[in-house]
Amino acid sequence: MNHLERKKLKKSILDEINSTVENISSLEEQVKPIAPDNAIGRLSRMEAISAKSINEANLASARVKLEKLKNILVDMDEDPDFGLCVECGEKIPFGRLMLVPESRMCVQCAGKHE
């Protein structure tokens, strides 16, 4: 990966981190406890509890994503082989890294492991 690609990828990851942090803040508001006698808007209490459960799962997923993105930033700076497939050693296509920056394998090797 050349310097320009690395810089573009780093900016994309930082943007994604900022977006994920905002998403986490929003989800944290949505998973606050629901008062027993309180309906939210037109939702019944059961619908509100169901929505809360979905938001809790989304929050957990967003927190995992944030950790992965932070780790990728560290790896980019410290790992001279960043951007190379850990399986075959070939260059991971830049487009793949832009879409899934935590990719450690090229498409072919990742397909073999699924």
Which pLDDT score is estimated for 62?
97
CA 102 to chain centre: 9
- Report the distance separating Cα 6 and Cα 21, nearest Å: 22
CB burial of 43-63 (b: ≥16 within 10 Å; e: otherwise) equals: eeeeebeeebeebeebbeebe
54-94 residue pLDDT tens: 999 999 999 999 999 999 999 998 988 899 999 999 999 99
More confident residue, 41 or 17: 17
CB burial of 66-83 (b: ≥16 within 10 Å; e: otherwise) equals: beebeebeeebeeeeebb
Distances (CA, A) of 49 to 7, 30, 62, 102: 43, 11, 20, 33
Q: How many CB atoms lie within 10 A of CB 97?
A: 23
Cβ atoms of residues 58 and 29 within 8 Å: no
23-41 residue pLDDT tens: 999 999 989 886 666 555 6
CA 2 to chain centre: 24
